[in-house]
Chain A
Amino acid sequence: MSDQIPNKREETLGGYILHNVPFPRELNAETLALLKEMTPIQIEQPYSITYLHSYAQDSPFFAGLANKVFLGNRDPETGYTYATPRGHDMHTGNETGWVRLPDEGTVHAFTVCYFGSEEFLPETPFVLALIGFEGADTLFLARLVGVDPNQPSLDWIGMKVKARYLRNSKFKPTDVYFVPA
C-alpha cells in the first residue's frame, strides 16, 4: 500500500533556478555567523484577481449613461440633490429618488495627471475635473476632454462644460465625460 503513495514531490519548471547557490561548504560557528552578512534573496509573488463588483442600488445611474442620460439622486423631503449617486441622504437618512440632471455643468476644480496609477499610466496626460450642476448640491468626478493638457490654466475653473457619452457603454463612470460647452 505505502508503495503506491508518492513520497516525493514532482519538480516543475518555472520560477527561479540558480545552481550552486553560494553557501558555506562546512557549517561551523564561524561560517554560520557569516550567514548574517548574506544579502537578501528577493522573489516575485504575482497576485491577480477578478472581482464581481455590483453597482447595486446605484445601477440605474449606469443604465442611464448607457442611454445617454445623466441621473442624480434627490432627497424627497429636503430636495438635497447628489450629482454622484447616493442611495440614502446623509442629513435625513431618507432613501433618495432618481432625478435627471442637466447635461451642462461647470468645472469646480481640476488637475492634469502627467503620471498616474499603473492602470491609468497609458492614458496620461489626462484631465480630472469635479463638475458642478445647476440644481445639484454635490459634484461629479469626470474626465475633461477638449482642453490642452499641456497648457493648464486656473481659468478652466468656472468653465461651462457639456456631457458627452461613449457610443458603447462600458458601465463605468467614464461612460460620460465633459467637453467645453
Chain B
Amino acid sequence: MRTVYAISGGVSKFTKARPDKTFQAIVKEAYDYAIRDIGLEFRQFTELVDGSVVSYFSDHFTRQLMAGIMATDYLGLCPKPNHRVEGGGATGGICFQEAWKAVASGYMDVCVAYGFETMSHVETWKGNEFIALASDVSFDYPVGGFYSGYYAMMVTRHMKEFGTTVEQMAHVSVKNHINAYHNPYAQKRNRYTIQDVRNAPMVAWPLTRLDICVMSDGAAATILCSEEGLARLEAAGAQIPRPLVKVGGIGRGTDAMRMADRPHQSYDDFLRYNLLPHEDTAETRAYYKELWDKGFRYPGVHSFRAGRMGSKEAYKNAGITDPLKEIDFVELHDAYTSSEIQTYEDMGLCRYGEGGPFAVSGKAFMPGIDYGLDLPEEPVCPVNPSGGLIACGHPVGATGLMQAVFAIWQLQGTVGKHFDDDTLQVKNARRGAIHSHAGTGTYVTVSILERGE
C-alpha cells in the first residue's frame, strides 16, 4: 500500500435545519472550503482530482434515491469515477476509508471524499423511525424500534455487569458540550452540569436527552492524495502545510445486526481473537479471568466487538502497541454518552469494565478548560475535543468525515485558524484516531492519522 496524505478538509456548520440550501449546495460549502484551504481555485482542483467517493446514510431522509451522484455532478466531478457508500452511522468513516483505499491502492493519486445528511426534512420522531429501520424489520423494529432504546438496553447491561453509573455517563455529556463551546461548527454550544444532564427529560432509561446526540443537517469533505498527487497539486500552486498529515493505518470490524444474536464468547476465545497487545500481561489476563469467573461473556450486548476489531486492525497497521500512550487525541462516535464509555474499552484506552471510572478520571478531558468538575487526574488523551456527535450533531453521512477534518486540523496545528479560537488545539498533537460506528455496533471503522516529521 502507498502512503496516503490527508491534506485538507471542510465542514459545513452543523445545524438543526438548512432549508436555505439543497443537500448538494451544503456539500459544496464543505468542498469549497477544503479546496480554498490549499489555495486552489475550483476549476484548478476539478482538473487535478482523479475521482471521488460520496456518502449519505438514508434515502428516506431526502426522499431521493441516488443523491450521491447529484452531489457529485453539482460539484462538477462528472465524468470522473465516483461511488456512494453507506454503512449506517459509520457511513462517513467508511467513505474516508474508501477514499484511502483508492489512493493507497494506486487507483487514484488525488481523491476527495464528501458526505452529507439532511435530517430536518421529517419530524424528529419520524426520523427516529427511519433510523430504527436499520434494525431487523421481522424481529426488532416491530417490538418498538427506537435506537435510543437499543443503546439504553446495552448500557443497562453494562451498568449491571460493571457498576457503571449515570453520573459517569453525564461526565461525557458535560465534557463534550463544553468542548463544543469553542467549536463554531458545532450545533450545540452549551455549558451543562451533571445535574442538567440528569434533570433533562428521560428518553430511554437511563439515557436523558443530554446523553443523546441530535439530528442534524450538514456536510463534510476531505482531500486525500499520494506522493504523486501531492507533487501534482503543488506543481499547480497548492499550498499544503508541513509537516504533512498522513493516514497511518485503518481498521474495520463488524458484528451481527440483531443484538440478540451477539455471541457470548469464552475467555479463551476472547484471548485468542480480541485481546489487544498491550493487554497481554499476566495482570490483565488475571483481571479478565476474574470477570469471566463472575459470569462476564464477550461481547454480549454491553461491548462492541466491531469496535475492538476495528481498533485492533488499525493499531496493527499503524504500529500502535499501547493506544493511551501513543495516541494524542481521539474523535470517537459518541452518539450516546454510554457508547463513548463502551468505546473507551473497545479502543483499549482502558480495560473492559473500566470505562466508567475512566470517564470521570479526567484523562479524556482537554487541558486548560474549566468543566466545573472535580477531576482527579490530568488529561492524557482528550476524547472528542471537537465536542463529538453529542454536541456537534450527527448528520450521519457527514459525521465520520467531520471527525477526519477535525483530526487533520489538530495534526496540522491549525485549529485556531479554522475555529478562530485555539482552545481546542491539542498541543503538539502527533497522532490521532477517528472512530465511526454504525448501530448497534454493526460496522465500526477506526483510522489513524499522523503528523509527519
Contact = CB atoms under 8 A, between A and B. Distances in A.
Interface of A: 39-40, 42, 45, 47, 53, 55, 58, 82-86, 90, 108-121, 123, 126, 128-130, 137-143, 152, 154, 157-158, 172-174
B81 interface: no
B205 A114 contact: yes
Contacts of A111: 149, 152-153, 156, 204-205, 207
Nearest to A62: B138
A52 B145 CA distance: 19
B201 A114 contact: yes
A101 to B, nearest CB: 13
29 contacts: A40-B20, A55-B138, A83-B260, A109-B157, A111-B153, A111-B207, A112-B204, A112-B205, A113-B149, A113-B204, A115-B201, A116-B125, A117-B125, A117-B126, A117-B129, A117-B131, A118-B125, A118-B128, A120-B146, A121-B125, A128-B144, A128-B150, A130-B157, A130-B301, A138-B263, A139-B261, A142-B143, A157-B157, A172-B142
A117 B146 contact: yes
A53 B137 contact: yes
Nearest to A45: B63
A128 B125 contact: no
B153 A130 contact: yes
B369 interface: no
Contacts of A82: 261
A139 B154 CA distance: 13
Interface of B: 19-20, 63, 123, 125-126, 128-129, 131-132, 137-140, 142-146, 148-150, 152-154, 156-157, 159-160, 201-207, 256, 258-264, 301-302
B129 A119 contact: yes
A126 B301 contact: no
A117 B139 contact: no
A130 B301 CA distance: 9
Contacts of B301: 108-109, 130, 139
Chain B CB within 10 A, most for which of A40, A42, A53, A55: A40
B261 A141 contact: no
Q: Which 4 A-B pairs have the closest CB atoms?
A: A111-B152, A117-B129, A109-B157, A139-B260
Contact of B258 (A40, A42, A84): A84
A114 B153 contact: no
A120 B145 contact: yes
B202 A116 contact: no
Contact of B142 (A47, A90, A174): A174
Given A109-B154, A116-B125, A154-B160, 5 more contacts: A47-B63, A86-B261, A128-B146, A152-B205, A152-B206
A29 B376 CA distance: 64
Contacts of A84: 139, 258, 260-261
B153 A115 contact: no
Contacts of A154: 156, 159-160
Contacts of B204: 111-115
B157 A108 contact: yes
Contacts of B20: 39-40
Contacts of B201: 114-115
B143 A128 contact: yes
A174 B152 contact: no
A109 B139 contact: no
A140 to B, nearest CB: 6
Nearest to A119: B129
Given A114-B201, A116-B128, A141-B260, A40 B19 contact: yes
A54 to B, nearest CB: 9
Contacts of B202: 112, 114
Contacts of A112: 202, 204-205
Given A112-B204, A174-B143, A118 B160 contact: no
Contacts of A121: 125
B128 A117 contact: yes
B86 to A, nearest CB: 19
> Which of B20, B201, B204: most chain A CB closer than 10 A?
B204
A58 B156 contact: no
Contact of A173 (B143, B154, B159, B263): B143
B140 A141 contact: yes
A53 B146 CA distance: 20
B301 to A, nearest CB: 5
Contacts of A138: 260-263
B143 A109 contact: no
A85 B129 contact: no
A113 B19 contact: no
A151 to B, nearest CB: 10
Contact of B259 (A42, A55, A130): A130
Given A53-B137, A117-B128, A140 B142 contact: no
Given A113-B146, A123-B144, A126-B144, A141 B156 contact: no
Given A120-B145, A154-B159, A173-B138, A140 B125 contact: no
A142 B144 CA distance: 9
A130 B260 contact: yes
